[in-house]
């Protein structure tokens, strides 16, 4: 039992280290295209933008995973799901593509590993901000520039709505779902509201800087890390 436990812990650390390697590779590709005058932008069926950087980052990550974890499945926002099995890497090559297109530095690559339906490793890398966050099951959540330079993070201790700082996104999305009145009512009961949006609001919650984040709709790759 002890040997099996040790083996699982070692594998988890190896997977976390690989997630950092994936993020390093993604950072190089995404930063190379950020603010490029020739950035190619298309509109997807759901009316959201996708750039050549999105597709290039995801392909780079898929190529690395094919070489390092050939038996693992991969689910990516741009290319869907490939492979099968109990282990699945979940990728959002650039979360915050609209910001990326407009030159706003608040965007990130999201990477997660799901095993038997549960996320065991999660990492978010925002190279234009010089920030990275990660967590692994049983190892806590951290932020820093690399595994060797870390600061452990945790959510805030605020429990009362009247003392809470909350973030929301896309008022139009809430209105489309008929839930805007409820969001507005909630906003009147909290200490303050801010519209940070995308990955940023969730990482601020993870750090304890914001107490809660609300979005009208998300996909698995948005929240898996």
- Is 213 in contact with 200 (CB distance < 8 Å)? no
Low-confidence ranges of the chain (pLDDT < 70): 1-6, 146-148
User: What is the pLDDT, as a whole number, of residue 7?
Assistant: 84
- Is 39 in contact with 94 (CB distance < 8 Å)? no
Q: How far is CA 113 from the centre of its chain?
A: 12
**pTM beyond 0.85:** yes
Which tens digit of pLDDT belongs to each residue from 32-90?
Answer: 999 999 999 999 888 889 999 999 999 999 999 999 999 999 999 999 999 988 999 99
Decide the pairing of beta strands 131-136 and 73-76. unpaired
Domains of the chain: 2-146 (3.30.540.10), 161-223 (no CATH)
User: What is the pLDDT, as a whole number, of residue 218?
Assistant: 85
């Amino acid at each position: 039992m002890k040997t099996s436990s040790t083996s699982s812990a070692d594998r988890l650390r190896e997977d976390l280290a690989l997630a950092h390697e994936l993020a390093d590779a993604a950072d190089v590709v995404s930063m190379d295209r950020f603010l490029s005058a020739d950035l190619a932008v298309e509109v997807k069926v759901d009316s959201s933008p996708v750039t050549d950087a999105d597709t290039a980052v995801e392909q780079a990550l898929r190529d690395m995973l094919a070489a390092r974890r050939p038996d693992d499945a991969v689910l990516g926002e741009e290319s869907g799901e490939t492979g099968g099995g109990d282990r699945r890497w979940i990728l959002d090559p650039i979360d915050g593509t609209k910001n990326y297109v407009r030159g706003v530095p608040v965007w990130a690559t999201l990477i997660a590993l799901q095993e038997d339906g549960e996320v065991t490793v999660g990492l978010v890398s925002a190279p234009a901000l010089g920030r990275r966050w990660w967590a692994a099951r049983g190892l806590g959540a951290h932020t820093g520039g690399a595994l060797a330079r870390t600061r452990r993070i945790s959510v805030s201790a605020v429990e009362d709505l009247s003392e809470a700082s909350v973030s929301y996104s896309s008022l139009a999305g809430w209105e489309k779902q008929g839930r805007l009145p409820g969001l507005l009512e909630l906003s009147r009961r909290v200490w303050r509201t801010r519209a940070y949006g995308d990955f940023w609001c969730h990482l601020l919650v993870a750090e304890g800087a914001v107490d809660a984040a609300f979005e009208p709709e998300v996909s698995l790759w948005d929240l898996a890390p």
